[in-house]
A and B are shown apart, each in its own frame.
Chain A
Amino acid sequence: MAKYIGKRIKRTEDPRLIKGLAHYVDDIDLPGTLHVAFVRSMYAHARITGIDTAEAMKAPGVVAVYTGKDIATKIGPVPCAAALPDLKVPDYRVLATDKVLFVGHPIAAVVATDKYTARDAVEYLYPGVYLEELPAVVHVIDGVPTSPVIHEHFGDNIAYKLTSGEGDIDAAMKAADRIVTQKMIHQRLAPIAMEPRGVLARYFPGEEELTVWSSTQIPHLLRTQLALMIGIPENKLRVITPEVGGGFGSKLNVYAEEALLGWISMQLGKPVKWIESRRENMQATIHGRAQVGTVEVGVKNDGTITGLRYNVVADLGAYHQLLTPAIPTLTGLMLSGAYKIPAIQMNVTGVFTNKMSTDAYRGAGRPEATYVVERVMDVIARELNLDPVEVRRKNFPKASEFPFHTATGLDYDSGNYDGALDKALDLSGYQKLREEQKKARDNGKLIGIGLSSYVEICALGPSQAMPAGGWESATVRIEPTGKVTILTGTSPHGQGQETSFAQIAADELGVDLNDVTVIHGDTGVVQYGIGTFGSRATAVGGTAVLIAIQKLKEKAAKIAAHMMQCDASRLSFEAGCYTREEAAAAAATGKSEPVVPVGEAPGGALNEVPTPTNGRTKLTIQEIALAAHIAKEIPPDTEPGLSATYFFEPKNFTFPFGTHICVVEIDKDTGETKIIKYVAVDDCGKVINPLLVDGQVHGGIVQSIGQALYEEVIYDDQGQLVTGELMDYAVPKAAQIPWFETDRTETPSPVNPLGVKGVGEAGTIGATPAIVNAVVDALAPYGVKHLDMPMRPEKIWKIIHA
């Protein structure tokens, strides 16, 4: 049955991409398009005292200039979908009105006949923008900054405070032999999708229809929000996500520019385009992480954990983007890690700062939790003089204990943490590594070994736990010519679901993979969907595809039974054919039936009734599709056509897990860290396409390497963005990356019939602590117990040469 599922199938989306023929937003060229550029704040915090647009308006080619005052009442605020008790939500206008609150805050939009002219006009406009600089709130390293207050009417800079967790934390701490405490910084990161954001909007005044092409991960949610912001009926608005050049959470959002472009197109009756520059991307696309916290763990002398408390300040930035305040709550959910911890408490304070908003960056709150837990496991091991493996194993739930309830309120679906750990230890030759490390240390070399046994929460998620629904949709059609069309509500942007969903469909329908087309990212074509984020596309969206196909097959079987004049219960389905039972029995004894070869569409003109069945006892699903459309030979109570739609609501999240082991060598002269071995054993449940899973794991680990060693969004004391280009923000390069040895264990998820769990974020969640643990381990001879990220050469060199 499984001809495609589980196989390393190369991607069907690749030919257009490797030939340079794909269409990202900026590749779409509509006649008469006007170009938009933004005047953005150069200050972190300033009062706008006046804007004089006259000079800019005089420039040749300038069509219009819009300021915050012009449009304040015309476009609704940038939305925040997170609902937390007593959450303060600032009024986030698409252009600043009275104050600017972060570097990059849009102040005015300039529309011109081409992009060069638009950028020129921005320069003409800058001198006319009068700003009175105010002191900025920048750092949260020492707690909540009290002055100045960014949003004056709130009275302070606290957006919310929240306590989460279960169990008696005070009793748990009292039951411990000792309390291990560690402060940790999760630095601010930039997601850096290689394609920056971009928007093209076209309004047809006659039809009153607006089409918005946007590089987004959530076309339908964006359509709903834009309709509300702009005030256009949702059924007159179409959002299209053409090719999207990476997202990593940064395009899981609704941005000011998206609404503004749509609205401007409606004002001018012409297509308008804005393509984000990398500088704008660093300034005004969401950032990730940015937490400073202290973890306290109660632990027995044998390494058994009795309780965990995490007090954390989350740097939210100046405003809430779509999910900003919710991200730290995901940290709270995952603080049990891969361990049995009887009592857990997180106390989080979300703080406004004069910076760009933080929001979901690959992992979104879970890497922080994994880092806290996996880092502190090593701190515990060091204090108790135990091997880090031993401490972890001691606290694992056994495979027989699943579903496993955590003190963060979750029920882990399935797991075998010992299994993944054992495999990683074997694959890395852990014992031998430790011996080699000892020898190397004796020779004065700095070798470190780090591991991380992570659990992540994926397949987001049950609607009860999600701000805007957590289901996913699929429509499956078999066209009259036998070709299969899948419409998915997910919005892949590199993950490869055009291939993996086709694999699911081709197996389930018994058709050729190349006869399946997966359509996504067009609200004018695809039924409502939620989108691609939270490692959900295959587990939730793939399941929707599977169940839609099963529904379609129920109908196909009914038609087949009618055509072959038997009861549907007497049909068998295999390799794309419905066969009458007695025929199947006959075939087994060697008699053959005339059939159209599997995978081939029936020929002939569409008005030619495929007759017959003429007593035939075997029909391909393509023949049934044609019959269903011609509708002369279908049961009287059956609707013509052959398609089915399903909206899948998951009953739980899924919980992938694994163990990563990293070995580093530190150059004493330069302080540089070199990863000399990296082993990743991941368990993402059933695997649809191992090639794609490897790709997801590799990419995620490299983003972890970036966080651990190189990357940091830096604002200076005045709130000026220092890392404003890729020249200053260190995205890892090929030569900095080791060869990864990857392997898997496979523990199916009981949450969906595919048994899949999700893998999109495993690398960024699991790998960071393994790398940091390795570096800290390498520096143990210097008494280092903890080191904050990014562990750049300078930081390490200073320790070695202190």
Chain B
Amino acid sequence: MKQAISINVNGVDHTSEVEPRVLLVHYLRDVLGLTGTHVGCETSICGACTILIDGQAVKSCTMFAVQADGSNITTIEGLAANGNLHPVQEGFWECHGLQCGYCTPGMILTSTQIIDRNPNASREEIRRGLEGNLCRCTGYQHIVEAVEYAAKKASA
């Protein structure tokens, strides 16, 4: 039995009928075609599927689309404003915070939350904040630098 949901994604309202068991990440990817949000583990460990729901970083692989009914969602595709990269996106580019890029959308969205919560986060605090996101390529150091770059840029 399908259920009607209304979700605002990246500033656009969407109304859809979905099966209650459809995961939010599959709704975003398969129904809305926003494939920047990735699936890496299906157990909310790796964080590749991280999005912002009402400003909070959430793993969309372990949430049903129906649970997001009425919420405002930001995915990686919606982060750049008016064609300008978000400071975190810029930081990842400048500091080589990505290699294969698969964890990157989730990493970037988690990083925006780290900076939002604490613009002066120490390296230690940034690393703690990234614990829910796995990267197998970079060894994290360049990601930490990217977040530092973004924090500086955002507060400038």
Contact B139 A699 (CB under 8 A): yes
Query: CB-nearest residue of chain A relative to B103?
Result: A194
**A29 in the interface (beta carbon within 8 A):** yes
CB contact under 8 A between A10 and B96, given known A245-B38, A246-B102, A278-B43: yes
Contact B100 A494 (CB under 8 A): yes
Contact A19 B76 (CB under 8 A): yes
Residues of chain B with a CB closer than 8 A to A27's CB: 29, 35
Contact B99 A20 (CB under 8 A): no
Residues of chain B with a CB closer than 8 A to A20's CB: 34-37, 75-77, 79, 105
Of A23, A27, A195, chain B has the most CB atoms within 10 Å of the CB of A195
Interface window among B1-9, B52-60, B65-73, B122-130: B122-130
Contact A19 B141 (CB under 8 A): no
How far is the CB of A196 from the nearest CB of chain B, in Å?
7
Contact A495 B35 (CB under 8 A): no
CB contact under 8 A between A727 and B138, given known A18-B92, A20-B76, A20-B77: no
**B115 in the interface (beta carbon within 8 A):** no
**A128 in the interface (beta carbon within 8 A):** no
List which B84-138 residues lie within 8 A (CB) of chain A: 85, 89, 92-94, 96, 98-105, 108, 123-124, 126-128, 130-131, 133-138
**A507 in the interface (beta carbon within 8 A):** no
CB contact under 8 A between A278 and B41, given known A194-B135, A494-B99, A734-B127: yes
**A21 in the interface (beta carbon within 8 A):** yes
Query: CB-nearest residue of chain A relative to B134?
Result: A731
Q: Which of B26, B43, B143 contacts A727 (CB 8 A)?
A: B43
Contact B35 A26 (CB under 8 A): yes
Residues of chain A with a CB closer than 8 A to B151's CB: none
Cα–Cα distance between A27 and B139 once the two chains are bound (Å): 26
Cα–Cα distance between A739 and B143 once the two chains are bound (Å): 12
How far is the CB of A745 from the nearest CB of chain B, in Å?
21
CB contact under 8 A between A195 and B40, given known A116-B21, A734-B127: yes
B residues contacting the other copy or chain, number (CB 8 A)? 58
Cα–Cα distance between A731 and B130 once the two chains are bound (Å): 13
How far is the CB of A91 from the nearest CB of chain B, in Å?
33
**B63 in the interface (beta carbon within 8 A):** no
**A781 in the interface (beta carbon within 8 A):** no
**A277 in the interface (beta carbon within 8 A):** yes
Q: How would residues 24 to 36 of chain A score, 1 for a CB under 8 Å from any chain B CB and 0 otherwise?
A: 1011010000000
Contact B102 A698 (CB under 8 A): no
**B17 in the interface (beta carbon within 8 A):** no
Q: Which of A193, A275, A277, A697 contacts B100 (CB 8 A)?
A: A193
Q: Which of B79, B101, B140, B143 contacts A17 (CB 8 A)?
A: B101
CB contact under 8 A between A18 and B108, given known A11-B93, A702-B140: yes
Contact A726 B142 (CB under 8 A): no
List which B7-47 residues lie within 8 A (CB) of chain A: 19, 21-22, 26, 29, 33-43, 45-46
**A38 in the interface (beta carbon within 8 A):** no
Residues of chain B with a CB closer than 8 A to A21's CB: 36, 77
Contact B101 A245 (CB under 8 A): yes
CB contact under 8 A between A496 and B128, given known A20-B37, A195-B38, A698-B141: no
Cα–Cα distance between A192 and B43 once the two chains are bound (Å): 14
Cα–Cα distance between A483 and B29 once the two chains are bound (Å): 35
Contact B96 A193 (CB under 8 A): no
Residues of chain B with a CB closer than 8 A to A15's CB: 93
Cα–Cα distance between A195 and B100 once the two chains are bound (Å): 9
Seen from chain B, the residues whose Cβ lies within 8 Å of a Cβ on chain A are 19, 21-22, 26, 29, 33-43, 45-46, 48, 75-77, 79-80, 85, 89, 92-94, 96, 98-105, 108, 123-124, 126-128, 130-131, 133-144
* Complex A-B: 21 CB contacts under 8 Å: A10-B96, A19-B36, A19-B76, A20-B75, A21-B36, A24-B38, A29-B33, A194-B46, A194-B134, A248-B136, A275-B39, A695-B99, A698-B141, A699-B137, A727-B43, A731-B46, A734-B127, A734-B135, A734-B143, A735-B124, A737-B140
